Every structure is written in C-alpha cells, then in structure tokens.
Structure 1
C-alpha cells in the first residue's frame, strides 16, 4: 500500500529579507500614492464622517426620498450640485496651493468653504471633520502639517494638505475624496430610507461611474466659477436641526 505521506526531503523555500524582498518579474507596480489615498478615503479614518447624512435624513422625511431610485437620484444630484461645483473644485485648487507651500491661498479657500455652508450643522460638519483630519495628520506626520500651524481647516482643505505629499495626481486625489463621500452617503441611505445592501451597491456603482466626469468638471473651474447654490439642501438642513427623531448629526 502506498503510504499517504513519505519522509520528505526539505524543499527549498525563499525567505524574503530586507536585502532580497519578494521581487518577481511579474511583481505588481502600484500607482504612486495609491495606498495613501485608500487610507485617507476609508470610512475607518477617525474623522467622524459616518455620523453625517448631509441632509439625506431630512430628505427622507420631507422630500419624498423613500425608494432606491429617488435616493440614487438625490445623491447623484448632490454629487453634481455641491461636490463637483464646490468642494471638489476647492480640493483641486488646495492641493496645488499645499504643494506650493502657499498658506495664504489655503486659508482663502478655507474661508470660501465656510461661507458656502448655509446652515449651522453643515458648517459644523466641515469644521469638525477638518479639525479631526488635521489632528490625525499632526499626530502621524507633524512635518506635513506645518501649513496648518495656528489654524484649523475645513474638511476639503484638510484633505488637500493630507494628500499633498503623495505623488498621486490631482485627479486621483479628487476621485478618492469623492468616492469616500459617496460611500458615506450610500451608508446613510441604507440606514435612513432604509435600503438593502444590494440597493446600496447599485447606487454606489452609479456614483462611481459619475465621479470621473464630476472630477474633470471640478478641475476645470476657476475661482469665479465655483458655486454651491443648493436651496433645497439648505432648507432641509435647517429643518433637520430640529427633526424629532434622527440618527445623524447633519
């Protein structure tokens, strides 16, 4: 009978060392900054994004956002109206300012972000998330936070400073920011509407397909072209501040 196992001769095994890392002819080559962008766009980053629905919760109660289709349309519209025309455009310009070491320009862009927040809760959101991300950067990479000495940035500006040291393109950084925002909005919709996980993935697929065009639009905008006019968002945000029962801070 053939034995199940014979006494084996030890096989050769290559153990990676600092001098000889796991390098093979077909080893993957990563896009510069890719892992940093994944890290910064992750919902696990301790900036508190999960606690905000950006008015979606109020839209469920007062604007008829009660189905997957309507929720998908609502979030897709928000991508175009507030992200592509406002925050993403600021982010693109702030990355250039951070890489140039232009603190005055960063503060001017930051002031614009705050002025576009038409309710107290939306302003507090960008301030809290920006402060948390800046604190994270100061704790992990204090040298990279030098541009933030003496002031606290809004979230888009903090994200720009946090990614400026990478070799990632402006387009990739903006896409990572937008996808992180989209993931958070979908998670909010799943809880608020409510929706199933599969519905959430369908909405996220739609947003992912729309993000490249939104980023291209944002990068083409100058200072005089940025805007964040979204009256219904502002009205519902003001109502959300006193909503009887809610899960989210905004």
Structure 2
C-alpha cells in the first residue's frame, strides 16, 4: 500500500469520522444489561462471534460484491446487493443503524472536496439513503483502496466500535479495552480470508441471540446507545 492509500484508509476508519458510529452498540448494550457480557473474556467471545459469523459470512462478502458492482458500473447489481444488505439486518434497530451510518457516509462523500464526483456519478447522485456497507464500498473505491484493504478496514471499524461501546457500558478500563482490541484484531485477517470464499447463495447469518438483544434494546428503560 502506498502512503496516500494508507492515509485514506486511516481517514475512512477513524472513529472521529462524522458518521455516528459511536451512537450504536449493535445489540451489545442489551447483552451487557442482561448479564451476557460482563467481563473482557465475555466481550472477546461476543465480538469474535460477530466477526466470524456475521461479518465473515455476510457483511464482508456483500462489501466485496458492492465494490465489484461499482468498478464494473453495474448499477442494477448494486441495487440488488443493497436490497440484500437491508434484508440481512435482523431488527429494525440494526437496520436503522446500518442506514443512518451509511447515509451519513454518503453525505460526507458528496461534500468531500477531494472526491472526484464525475467518476461513477450514479453512486453519489442517485441515492439519498444507503447502507453503511454500500457507502463504505463507494468510499473505498474513490479512495482507491484495494479489496483486501477495504475488507480489513471495515472489519477493524466494527471491532473498534464494539470495544469503544464496551469500555463505556461494562465498564472496562482503557487499557483493558486496548488489550482486547490488540487481541481481537489478530483475528481479522482470518475473517477476511473466510469472507472471500463465501459464495453468493451462501451469504447470510443466523444470530438469534443478537436479534433478541437488539429487540429488547428497542424498549430498554435506560440506555446510552441508539441500537
């Protein structure tokens, strides 16, 4: 990776990117409230399971398909992929988080002066709302990141958001959080490799615990996160 691509990746995965990722726990807040996740060991298991069973089988393969659709200017396939992305979100909260972050990313790209808005204009002009996966694919295309870097960056962003949420919710010390981030990050390359062997008709997930936690969160009495 050249230095410019590295800086673009760091910008795309920066927790300060104004997409609202810090507002969503993806069901983790309910899991902690119910006592499912109470310590670093539980959190490692929760995030690792999400990484391989959700991202590895669903999000990352779909992200790769969206990149391919963009690079081949296949607008019809892009829309088809977007519909599948939304269908794989198991609760209204998780779908809301996916679309809120994606739409914020899309809005940022439309206003980012360094982005070439004349290249593949449909991706930036025809949508007012998109999933985070699709918007991340658009950003990585315009930032000229290769597919391995794109998938790795997306997985890192997910893990980083989960650890940041857990530091506030369990709560964890900052050092414990960094140790977990260091440990779980070692699993990302295997997750990316796994995702690249998933065929189109095998994309999907079944995480009933996550769906239940997210559904409970919609009516949780006291909460810090939107999902």
Whether the TM-score (by the shorter chain) exceeds 0.5 is: yes
User: Does 1:39 pair with 2:39?
Assistant: no
Paired residue for 2:142?
165
Paired residue for 1:150?
126
- Residue ranges of structure 2 left out of the alignment (5+ in a row): none
Say which of 33, 42, 62 aligns to 1:70: 42
User: Does 1:193 pair with 2:193?
Assistant: no
User: CA 1:244/1:213 → structure 2, altered by over 3 Å: closer, same or farther?
Assistant: same
More RCO (CA 8 Å, sep 6+): 2
Task: Confirm or deny: 8 A CA contact 1:31 1:168 kept in the other structure.
Answer: no
User: Does 1:55 pair with 2:27?
Assistant: yes
In 1, the alpha carbon distance for the partners of 2:170 and 2:160 equals: 15
Paired residue for 1:99?
71
Say which of 200, 204, 207 aligns to 1:223: 200
Say which of 91, 103, 115 aligns to 1:119: 91
The CA deviation at 1:143 is 3.1
Residue by residue, what CA displacement relative to the aligned partner does 1:35-90 show, whole Å, maximum 9, x if unpaired?
A: 11111111111100000011111000114211111111111111111111111111
TM-score (norm 2): 0.93
Number of aligned residue pairs: 222
Task: Confirm or deny: 8 A CA contact 1:137 1:145 kept in the other structure.
Answer: no
User: Does 1:208 pair with 2:207?
Assistant: no
- Residue ranges of structure 1 left out of the alignment (5+ in a row): 1-28
User: Does 1:79 pair with 2:73?
Assistant: no
Task: Confirm or deny: 8 A CA contact 2:52 2:191 kept in the other structure.
Answer: yes
Q: Which has the higher mean CA deviation after the structures are superposed, 163-172 or 93-102?
A: 163-172
In 1, the alpha carbon distance for the partners of 2:71 and 2:121 equals: 12
The CA deviation at 1:104 is 1.4
Structure with more helix by fraction: 2
